[in-house]
Amino acid sequence: MSPAPDHTPFSSAFTGTGASTGVVVSHGFTGSPHAVRAWAQSLADAGYAVRMPLLPGHGTSWQDLARTHWQDWHAALDAAYLELAGECGHVVVAGLSMGGALALRIAATRPVAGTVVVNPGLVIDDPRAPLAGILKFVLKSTPAIGNDILKPDTDEGAYPRTPVAAAHELNKLFKDTVRLLPRVTAPVRVYRSSVDHVVSDKSIAALRRGLTHAPLEVIRLENSYHVATMDNDAPGIFRGTAEFIRSVTGGGNPGAAHASRKDTADD
């Protein structure tokens, strides 16, 4: 069985050699650091300084999330970036789902060495999304979107309900981040599940269109659903992230030691 969800933030100091590198890791919408803790820990074990904040409104109750704004989530991740930037020679940003959008937003507004995102969200497919600003006054929440995981007996610890007010904020975050994508210049690596019941390929298409000045690499995951950082392909994501970081910070070339395949189309 999956361990009890740990919603606490994570922080580690640099223990590597040479020029120090920091990594900022973000969890997703209605989730918590629990879903990306093993990812963050693997990077700390590799010698990187890591900051993984608990985003405002998360890790408590969906009612708390309903009272937050997307700028609050961005500010928390930006503060983590600034902390590492003051200590490290290079900073890489990483995120899952909405955390991927936040990571891309940091990459568009701060000098990062690179970005790694897992099933990043940039488009909400629900046809009610444009109406969420009105619906939030009459409909407080909708069914949960969490736990899209192929691996049995695995719980990401997401909220049991999705607050409509926060979904409205999420939609605004996505739209504003898509607008900023042309500002990203550092390399971007995407881990994309072939089967994802939460984020559709519309988000990946938006990312491809928007990244007009940054190298983009998409690696397909064949044995995981949306929360791939807790799923069967997680070990490959962890190894591949460390390899990517070494490649963008001058620490070596990325290898091919991951249980997935590279999608070279339109990269």
The residues that are catalytic are 97, 196, 226
Contact, 118 vs 100, CB < 8 A?
A: yes
CB-based contact 36:27 (threshold 8 Å)? yes
Alpha-carbon Rg for the chain, nearest whole angstrom, is 17
Q: How many CB atoms lie within 10 A of CB 196?
A: 21
Cβ atoms 247, 253 nearer than 8 A: yes
Selection from 41, 23, 45 nearest residue 33 by Cα = 41
Sheet holding 21-26, edge to edge: 10-12, 49-52, 21-26, 90-96, 114-118, 188-193, 216-221, 261-263
Measured distance CA(251)–CA(256) in Å, rounded: 16
52-69: burial string, b at 16+ Cβ within 10 Å, e else: bbbbbbbbeebeebbebb
- CB atoms closer than 10 angstroms to residue 222: 12
